[in-house]
Chain A
Amino acid sequence: MTSYVAGIDIGSTMTKVVILKDGLITSIIGPTGPEQRRLANKVMEEALKKASLPFSEIMYIVSTGYGRMNVPFSDRQITEITCHARGVNYLIPEARTIIDIGGQDSKGIKIDRSGKVLDFVMNDKCAAGSGRFIEVIADTLGISLKDVGELSLQSRNPAKISNICTIWAQQEVAASLAQGVKISDLLAGVHFSLAERIGRMVSRLKIEKAIVVTGGGGRNKGLLHALSEVLGERLTVPEEPLITGALGAALIAREIVEESKKNRIDLKTKERRLEEVEIL
């Protein structure tokens, strides 16, 4: 019998779904947004459509990420730290350190060859070490988020951004802009500032190679360049860095299904109903 499993990763900014069947992966990425946090079902529906599957075919669902508690149809919640470890290990078995740069926080995760978490660090309850920092600055400069990476790579003389606080850094950038500092230099400076902050945090783990970058940060070439310079190491990025958490969740779901088949125990699952989440 074919069995489908799914992982859903509700991040602060993006919601990611991965549906697994044997080795085949279907994935979908949609915004979480302030309103959509209760609409985890919408992203799930899209993923099901893409995989041409009815919801009832999914045997087991693991939710992860910041909003993992807000998924009424998930059978189990597992943190994104454990899920990224599993997902990255599946895609890049030689990975030993993961740097996940998300919308509202960033993490460093050390893993062994089997994808088990050995240690981890997270940034301090503040957006300063996260993708949000770049979002705010891009907004200040009036530049689309998807262009900031490329643009920053044109810089020959990165500006020095001394403020760590996102709001103050925003003011600093605005002031520098008024003084005529080039946008590419400002962006490069912002990326270096963020890279240094993340690098300092991750270095507490005693980094081992290979280093893999996941999350939205993995899509930003300027940030990757700065982080690689700061760490003095080569960085690897999965083809789609956003889905490793959801993939890991799906892999864990598959393992749970297989485990229950092997031991002939009933799978404890929730009633299969896709609906909006009721939150305050």
Chain B
Amino acid sequence: MRPDEVFFKIEKQFKDYGSRARQLHKEGRKIIGYVCSFVPLEMIAASGAIPFRVRGSIQEPITLGDTLLETIVCPYYRSCFDLSIKGRYEFLSGLVIPHACDSMVRSYSVWSYSLPYSYFHFVNVPTVCEESSFEFFEEELKNFKKSLERFTGKSIQDEDLSKAIQLYNKNRDKIRALYELRKNDPPLISGTELTMALTAGSGLPIDESNEWFDQVIAAVKGRGGSPLSKGPRILIDGACIDHIELVKLVEELGGNVVADTICNGARDSFPKTEESKDPIQALSRRYLDKLNCPKTYRANKAGTFEGDIANRFGDIGTYAREFRVEGAILYVYKYCDPFGFEVPARKAYYQSIQVPMLHLEDTYSAGNLGQLRTRIQAFLEMISR
């Protein structure tokens, strides 16, 4: 495919998110929805079902969802729920929700009795990360396995799991390769394009997703040159940002989005699963320890505040160096507890690595995003070379 055809397809696939899953559902495949980075997708894929990330929509006002969920739940998660009960994901056969943030834990029951799916599972992910937690989580993973086996009628062998782990690792390698193309100045792929490509990829079965990223990488390399002109290199720090409006706004105002820590970006795609280990053990390590999310409590082993923030947010510093970041935007949804609680500590960390940071709070609504324009523009003016 020619590069321009691939870029057209990226936009189309982003807009028609879920169309491939719908088609596969019609062909008789079981599609299992999930939210958050903490659901071990390898397990779902090994069962023969297809994991599908449930997204919200910043364009669509939350209506029906608010008759069943209180607004204390964060607007992103409420939007995911709103679209689900409006039937946007009617092709799903089941739904898996992990024990991640409080919004997910407390509203799980509402999801399970409001939606018509025949399979629900809650993955009990520990909130701390100690030796005993891994032991517990391995048992939880075995429970998840049994529950999937009951639902699909297929027993999951170690080989199935190992094969799925390899496929997902390959996917992460490809996404990493795509991120490498952001290291140019200006980057060879815009943040808007990358976000759309990643989102499109997350709606496909893993083998198709791997092919998809091969096409995207080839197109970016084949295009030669950047779609952006040089500007301040920005890292986006936050939870799941499954819309492109923020990144688009930053790039419209002259910034280059070159790195992130977000769930549907680096947080999810950079850590790999060890292939030489027992698969259950390896998955427990990856999901519990390697995913760096504020929902996990990590004991202060350094004994000092400086040491603690360096341990907790060290990946930000690594990305900042690697991608030559000149400024960061910490984008937090209103009522997002895990990120909201951490804002002061993150601020202190950015100060310690001398990266200017802009903290934005948003309501996950396209109409309101324009109000952030002045802040973003002023921040870009402040850090401009």
| Chain A residues, Cβ within 8 Å of B371 | 125
| Chain B residues, Cβ within 8 Å of A125 | 368, 371
Q: Which of B155-163, B298-306, B374-382 contacts A (4 or more CB under 8 A)?
A: B374-382
The bracket for how many chain B residues form the interface is under 10
Tell which of A116, A118, A122 touches B374, judged by Cβ atoms closer than 8 Å: A122
**Is A228 an interface residue, CB under 8 A from the partner?**
no
Check B374 against A79 for contact (C-beta < 8 Å).
yes
| Chain B residues, Cβ within 8 Å of A130 | none
- Determine the distance from Cα of A276 to Cα of B289 in the docked complex, in whole angstroms: 60
Chain B interface, >50% SS class: helix
| Chain B residues, Cβ within 8 Å of A118 | 382
Tell which of A66, A116, A117 touches B378, judged by Cβ atoms closer than 8 Å: A117
Interface string of A205-228 (1 = CB under 8 A from B): 000000000000000000000000
| Chain A residues, Cβ within 8 Å of B375 | 120, 122
Inter-chain pairs besides A80-B374, A119-B382, 18 sampled, C-beta below 8 Å: A66-B374, A78-B381, A79-B374, A79-B377, A79-B381, A81-B374, A81-B378, A81-B381, A81-B382, A82-B378, A82-B382, A116-B382, A118-B382, A120-B375, A120-B378, A120-B382, A125-B368, A125-B371
> A79, A80, A125: which has the most chain B beta carbons within 10 Å?
A79
- Least distance between B254 CB and chain A CB atoms (Å): 11
- Determine the distance from Cα of A120 to Cα of B359 in the docked complex, in whole angstroms: 10
- Determine the distance from Cα of A88 to Cα of B201 in the docked complex, in whole angstroms: 50
Which residue of chain A has its CB nearest to the CB of B383? A117
| Chain A residues, Cβ within 8 Å of B374 | 66, 79-81, 122
| Chain B residues, Cβ within 8 Å of A124 | 361
| Chain B residues, Cβ within 8 Å of A122 | 374-375
- Least distance between B364 CB and chain A CB atoms (Å): 14
Which residue of chain B has its CB nearest to the CB of A78? B381
- Least distance between B262 CB and chain A CB atoms (Å): 23
Chain A interface, >50% SS class: mixed
Interface string of A110-152 (1 = CB under 8 A from B): 0000001111101011000000000000000000000000000
Interfacial residues of chain A within 43-92, with CB under 8 A of chain B in the complex? 66, 78-82
> B374, B375, B377: which has the most chain A beta carbons within 10 Å?
B374
| Chain B residues, Cβ within 8 Å of A82 | 378, 381-382
Check A117 against B381 for contact (C-beta < 8 Å).
yes
- Determine the distance from Cα of A60 to Cα of B116 in the docked complex, in whole angstroms: 63
> CB within 8 Å of A: which residues of B?
361, 368, 371, 374-375, 377-378, 381-382
- Determine the distance from Cα of A66 to Cα of B381 in the docked complex, in whole angstroms: 16
- Determine the distance from Cα of A118 to Cα of B379 in the docked complex, in whole angstroms: 9
> CB within 8 Å of B: which residues of A?
66, 78-82, 116-120, 122, 124-125
Which residue of chain A has its CB nearest to the CB of B382? A117
| Chain A residues, Cβ within 8 Å of B382 | 81-82, 116-120
| Chain B residues, Cβ within 8 Å of A79 | 374, 377-378, 381
Closest 6 CB pairs between A and B?
A: A81-B378, A79-B378, A117-B382, A82-B381, A79-B377, A125-B371
- Least distance between A29 CB and chain B CB atoms (Å): 21
- Determine the distance from Cα of A78 to Cα of B384 in the docked complex, in whole angstroms: 12
- Determine the distance from Cα of A81 to Cα of B371 in the docked complex, in whole angstroms: 14
Which residue of chain A has its CB nearest to the CB of B380? A79
- Least distance between A248 CB and chain B CB atoms (Å): 11
- Least distance between A11 CB and chain B CB atoms (Å): 12
- Determine the distance from Cα of A3 to Cα of B375 in the docked complex, in whole angstroms: 32
- Least distance between B363 CB and chain A CB atoms (Å): 9
- Determine the distance from Cα of A58 to Cα of B339 in the docked complex, in whole angstroms: 49
Q: List 13 A-B contacts (CB under 8 A).
A: A78-B381, A79-B378, A80-B374, A81-B374, A81-B378, A81-B382, A82-B378, A82-B381, A82-B382, A116-B382, A117-B378, A125-B368, A125-B371
- Least distance between A66 CB and chain B CB atoms (Å): 8
- Least distance between A115 CB and chain B CB atoms (Å): 12
- Determine the distance from Cα of A40 to Cα of B377 in the docked complex, in whole angstroms: 22
- Determine the distance from Cα of A117 to Cα of B361 in the docked complex, in whole angstroms: 21
- Determine the distance from Cα of A118 to Cα of B327 in the docked complex, in whole angstroms: 13
| Chain A residues, Cβ within 8 Å of B368 | 125
- Determine the distance from Cα of A86 to Cα of B377 in the docked complex, in whole angstroms: 16
| Chain B residues, Cβ within 8 Å of A119 | 382
Which residue of chain A has its CB nearest to the CB of B375? A122
- Determine the distance from Cα of A217 to Cα of B368 in the docked complex, in whole angstroms: 26
| Chain A residues, Cβ within 8 Å of B361 | 124
Which residue of chain A has its CB nearest to the CB of B362? A125
- Determine the distance from Cα of A221 to Cα of B301 in the docked complex, in whole angstroms: 53
| Chain B residues, Cβ within 8 Å of A81 | 374, 378, 381-382
- Determine the distance from Cα of A66 to Cα of B378 in the docked complex, in whole angstroms: 12
| Chain A residues, Cβ within 8 Å of B381 | 78-79, 81-82, 117
- Least distance between A127 CB and chain B CB atoms (Å): 13
- Least distance between A36 CB and chain B CB atoms (Å): 20
- Least distance between A173 CB and chain B CB atoms (Å): 27
- Determine the distance from Cα of A81 to Cα of B361 in the docked complex, in whole angstroms: 19
